[in-house]
Amino acid sequence: MARATASETSDRIDALQGMILAGTPNTECLAFARKEWGISRARGYELMKRAWTQIKDDVDETGIDRLELLAWSIQTLMAAAGQAKQQKNPGAVVACIKQLDWMTGLGINATAGQRVPRGRR
């Protein structure tokens, strides 16, 4: 297969960026890229990385205050956890708490200096 032009590569990155922003998981984005464009797994990861970098650059250009965004995200997750608790949905409550733990770094794994939960031994 012929190499993609700079324009095609840019279009691919934009397509992956759109998928990411739409909430598509990374593994699904990678599978799409490999199937649609016939690229290797490594090339797919490279394009994904460039898409994430482009998203970060776009956010940085807006001048958004990251602390304000974090505060809003925490408030939204706490409200979602409260709503899930009222609806007696323990799975959603746990998911909200897990996300809050990851975002704030205040959980048990943060004190151990780990970012990934430890598995059972």
Q: What is the pLDDT along the chain (121 residues), one digit of tens a residue?
A: 578 899 999 999 999 999 999 888 889 999 999 999 999 999 999 999 999 999 989 888 888 787 888 888 899 999 999 999 999 999 999 999 898 888 888 776 665 555 555 555 5
In a domain, 58, yes or no: yes
Q: Terminal CA-to-CA distance of the chain, rounded, Å?
A: 47
Examine the domain organization and report whether 73 and 58 are in the same domain. Answer: no
Examine the domain organization and report whether 16 and 50 are in the same domain. Answer: yes
In a domain, 120, yes or no: no
Domain that holds residue 100: 66-111
In a domain, 116, yes or no: no
What pTM was estimated for this model as a whole?
Answer: 0.56
Examine the domain organization and report whether 58 and 71 are in the same domain. Answer: no
In a domain, 101, yes or no: yes
Residue 96 near residue 77, CB atoms below 8 Å: yes
Examine the domain organization and report whether 80 and 39 are in the same domain. Answer: no
In a domain, 104, yes or no: yes
